[in-house]
Amino acid sequence: MIVRFFCLILSMIVVSELYGIEGMALSGNNQTQETEARIGRLIDQGRLTEALGECKIAVSMFPQTRAFMLLLAKAYILDNNSVWALKTLYGWINDNPDDHEVRSWITWLHMQRGEMDKASAQSEQYRLAEWPSLISRDNLYQAFLALSAKDLRQARFGFKSAFSGQAGFPEDEALAGQIGAALFPQWQGKYHLTVSGVLGYSTHPSLAATFGEDVTAAGSPYSGLTASATIDPLLTYPVRPVIMFKQTASYYTENQGADKPSASSFFFPEFRVSFPWRAGFVEAAVAYASGAYLLNSRPPFSFPDTTWMEEFFSERAYWFFEYHRFEADLRISDGIAALYGFGRRWFNHMGRSRYENDLTFAWQIPYRKYAEIVAALSGRYYHATNDNYSITGGDCLVSLERRISGKLSAAVSVIGGLDHYPKSLDFFLASVTRFDRLAVLQTKLRYAFRKSIRIVVSYEFSDRRSNASSASDNFDYRDHRIQAGLEWSAVRGVWLRTASDSDMGSRVTLPYEGISGSDHIFDAVRELLKHRQELRRSSTCLN
């Protein structure tokens, strides 16, 4: 009896210990995952000193946990300490010689340090590995080495091997973008579709409306839906065609006087084909661009015969303007470029059609580690069929974008512009030629709620003053516009087909420090100028 009792007690102790060990293991796993996530957030936020401190403690407590070792190496790389990053990675490789992904990290660091023999020795170790993403990375490395040695033929061979091969690591798209931009200047190599819905409030939409929209509200909540697409395929070099579409519909709920609440919509297709080339540090391109602006367009997904659609889009659709331009781009040095354009823009009101000449100088300046400034000075002369609408003017544009964390980014844009109508004496107002000035401030926050879905909150202040304003013709306006919405986007990169994050599982990504992907100062500046064109209602020949 006593023996049975002691056996029962002993079995209970053993079972309790086993459950305790399992519970401790589960608790330890949860603690490890939480620590890994916390260190990852510190690195994303640029708090490298704190991240390094926590990584060192985690590695000392869990020396065989691969994620902590890679996070420590990643923090060293981002802190510009490649020596200790290599020591950390080599320490792991000595105990785990078959970890080929870690060897690829070592290869990249040696390449960055100019130690090509050591890089080649490491790549030889994993070149025959049966891991498609690693093979794709190795092809990119070979292309990068050949590009550094100015062997463009070998670089294109390695790049095409990666391009046509298996799916690569998601972070390798940044390196592929830089190599692709060097081999094929000015290409983005993407198919981009964006759909966004917003709710907002505008204090003065009647005069701040874009282009020819017939908006009668004076201080109104509004809603809007926008769909846009960009097709930038990689075709036979050196021809780069880009096709863009944009469809927008807005509805203002308040009315002005006896007028009904206002609705507006437009469809804006654009096409641009350029012929870029590069010689040393000089990069240039000549291009032809055309586009048209259809007002009161019905969205292609609407039902045209419904009563609601007839009420919403009651105005007749018509082409407001059409343009054809020849453009030339020149990169003077890293981050400095010049853009020139000449062409003809036909308006629905033919007397206001014009020839356009504009010249822009632009600067792209990296600010610290997670921010970038784009600035531009632009001058223009528009010669209209009716001389009273001819314009001489200029703009100053500055945009700052900063990544606050892995999911949150902020952008601020400031625009100032002047427009002079030198041949408008006694036309708008007696004894004066018309002179307008415009000031705009725009702030925007983007939060990546999901991989393809972002929450966007923005505020825009715009103010125009004209010396030609009168009781009958008021060209002045001041608008405060705040809005919030959801933005869904799908991007298909042409440079490198990458595996999805879910397919790759939980892993630490290699930071390609100094690699920002494709450099597109020309496209960035064009977006700024396009936004300025939308804001400069006076020069759209409306007023």
* Buried b / exposed e along 239-258 (16+ C-beta atoms within 10 A): ebebebbbbbbbbbebebee
* pLDDT at residue 303 in the model: 46
Q: Are 455 and 447 in contact (CB under 8 A)?
A: yes
Number of domain units in the chain = 1
Taking only the tens place, the pLDDT of each residue in 409-433 is 899 999 999 999 999 888 888 788 9
Residue 105 has pLDDT above 70, yes or no: yes
179 in a structural domain: no
Mean pLDDT of 289-299: 79
Residue 400 has pLDDT above 70, yes or no: yes
Q: Indicate the pLDDT class of residue 121, thresholds 50, 70 and 90.
A: confident
Please state which of the ranges 87-96, 116-125, 159-168, 388-397 shows the lowest mean pLDDT.
Answer: 159-168
390 in a structural domain: yes
Mean pLDDT of 303-319: 54
3-state secondary structure of 446: strand
Q: Which of the pair, 188 or 383, is modelled with greater confidence?
A: 383
Q: Indicate the pLDDT class of residue 218, thresholds 50, 70 and 90.
A: low
Q: Are 264 and 215 in contact (CB under 8 A)?
A: yes
Please state which of the ranges 62-71, 122-131, 314-323, 417-426 shows the lowest mean pLDDT.
Answer: 122-131
Mean pLDDT of 35-49: 82
* pLDDT at residue 402 in the model: 85
Please state which of the ranges 49-53, 186-190, 280-284 shows the lowest mean pLDDT.
Answer: 186-190
Tell me how far apart the alpha carbons of residues 519 and 231 are, in angstroms, rounded to a whole number.
18
* pLDDT at residue 355 in the model: 95
Tokens 């032809």 -> residue? 288
Q: Which of the pair, 34 or 213, is modelled with greater confidence?
A: 34
Mean pLDDT of 4-10: 48
Taking only the tens place, the pLDDT of each residue in 513-543 is 655 444 566 777 777 677 667 655 434 444 4
Please state which of the ranges 154-163, 303-312, 423-432, 497-506 shows the lowest mean pLDDT.
Answer: 303-312
8 in a structural domain: no
Q: Are 173 and 495 in contact (CB under 8 A)?
A: yes
99 in a structural domain: no
Q: What one-character DSSP code corresponds to residue 168?
A: B
Give, in degrees to the nearest 5, the angle at Cα 404 between 401 and 407: 105
Structure tokens at 31: 């603690």
400 in a structural domain: yes
Domain CATH code at residue 322 = 2.40.160.40
174 in a structural domain: no
* pLDDT at residue 481 in the model: 92
Q: Which of the pair, 288 or 171, is modelled with greater confidence?
A: 288
* pLDDT at residue 427 in the model: 87
Taking only the tens place, the pLDDT of each residue in 53-83 is 888 888 888 888 888 899 999 989 888 888 9
Residue 208 has pLDDT above 50, yes or no: no
**Domain limits for position 234:** 190-540
455 in a structural domain: yes
Structure tokens at 482: 């705040």
DSSP result, 62-122: -TT-HHHHHHHHHHHHHTT-HHHHHHHHHHHHHH-TT-HHHHHHHHHHHHHTT-HHHHHHH
Share of the chain above pLDDT 70, in %: 73
464 CB-near residues (< 8 Å, 6+ apart): 207, 436, 437, 438, 475, 476, 477, 478, 537, 538
Q: Are 320 and 348 in contact (CB under 8 A)?
A: yes
Residue 28 has pLDDT above 60, yes or no: no
Chain mean pLDDT for the chain: 77
Chain centroid to CA 78: 22
Classify residue 448 by burial, with Cβ atoms within 10 Å: 0-12, 13-18, 19+: middle
3-state secondary structure of 9: helix
DSSP result, 78-91: HTT-HHHHHHHHHH
365 CB-near residues (< 8 Å, 6+ apart): 335, 372, 373, 374, 375
Tell me how far apart the alpha carbons of residues 42 and 125 are, in angstroms, rounded to a whole number.
33
Tell me how far apart the alpha carbons of residues 86 and 96 are, in angstroms, rounded to a whole number.
15
Residue 334 has pLDDT above 60, yes or no: yes
Residue 216 has pLDDT above 60, yes or no: no
Q: Are 264 and 250 in contact (CB under 8 A)?
A: yes
Mean pLDDT of 200-227: 70
Q: Indicate the pLDDT class of residue 37, thresholds 50, 70 and 90.
A: confident
Tell me how far apart the alpha carbons of residues 200 and 184 are, in angstroms, rounded to a whole number.
41
Q: Is the pTM of this model over 0.75?
A: no
Q: Are 71 and 55 in contact (CB under 8 A)?
A: yes
Mean pLDDT of 278-285: 75
Residue 476 has pLDDT above 60, yes or no: yes
Tell me how far apart the alpha carbons of residues 190 and 231 are, in angstroms, rounded to a whole number.
7
* pLDDT at residue 132 in the model: 75
Tell me how far apart the alpha carbons of residues 528 and 376 are, in angstroms, rounded to a whole number.
9
364 in a structural domain: yes
Q: Which of the pair, 192 or 87, is modelled with greater confidence?
A: 87
* pLDDT at residue 188 in the model: 59
* Buried b / exposed e along 127-140 (16+ C-beta atoms within 10 A): eebeeebbbbbbbb
Residue 325 has pLDDT above 90, yes or no: yes
Q: What proportions of the chain, in percent to the nearest 5, are helix, strand and coil? A: 35, 35, 30
* pLDDT at residue 370 in the model: 64
Q: What phi, psi does 18 have (nearest 5°)?
A: -65, -45
Taking only the tens place, the pLDDT of each residue in 221-255 is 888 899 999 887 766 667 888 889 888 888 877 76
Share of the chain above pLDDT 90, in %: 22
In this structure, the strands spanning 240-252 and 220-232 are antiparallel
